[in-house]
Chain A
Amino acid sequence: AQKVTQAQTEISVVEKEDVTLDCVYETRDTTYYLFWYKQPPSGELVFLIRRNSFDEQNEISGRYSWNFQKSTSSFNFTITASQVVDSAVYFCALLTTDSWGKFQFGAGTQVVVTP
């Protein structure tokens, strides 16, 4: 069985603060994919990043960075110097070869950035 846990329901920060979103996953598969999506107040879902289980290299893209650690089954996401436009719900998702095609989404973390 696969499972994604986003324990943080809501995080509130003041603009320019950093914010880290936690994602912990469970799977017995050795081959799997992890994703982060953003859902702004307008409601659409926007893809941010994809990682496969063989690539533990962390990544930085502008103000976004991701920390993938297989040892702790975590795929955390950090927004540096947050901005009001970062206010959104962020979802972590898991796809495994055992359940191919069945993306498992976490419950999401609401990020509120105030000026």
Chain B
Amino acid sequence: NAGVTQTPKFRILKIGQSMTLQCTQDMNHNYMYWYRQDPGMGLKLIYYSVGAGITDKGEVPNGYNVSRSTTEDFPLRLELAAPSQTSVYFCASSYGTSGSLNEQFFGPGTRLTVL
């Protein structure tokens, strides 16, 4: 299993540009997540999904959009990039039911710089 894969690993954007961060998992996990980690800080949840077709906002959703058309893929869309979105973005997945949620497996991260 490849686990959770993210592309690209690095990206530099100009202010106002848009891009999509890709995330794929091959563990058949129903839950998927997007986090951002600013330098020296912890993880902040952007969006998460409990299954294909279902997404919900996390702590810091503004400026981002997601979709979940398949179990495997959970892309994150940045519209009109701003310097405040400079961060490392992590995708994660986990398996859960209504009564239990296992640990998250994380991708290697995407380092995004907006200039």
Contacts and interface: CB of A to CB of B under 8 A. Distances in A.
B106 interface: yes
Main secondary structure of the interface of A (DSSP, over half): loop
Interface stretch (B13-21, B64-72, B96-104): B96-104
A32 B84 CA distance: 32
Contacts of A33: 101
Given A101-B48, A107-B42, A43 B88 contact: yes
A5 to B, nearest CB: 11
Interface residues of B, number: 25
A77 interface: no
Contacts of A100: 98, 101
Given A47-B105, A50-B103, A102 B58 contact: yes
Interface bracket on A: 10 to 19
Contacts of B104: 35, 45, 47, 103
B74 interface: no
B45 A102 contact: yes
Interface in A64-84: none
Ranked nearest first, the 6 interchain pairs of A and B with the lowest CB-CB distance are A45-B106, A47-B103, A105-B43, A107-B42, A105-B42, A50-B103
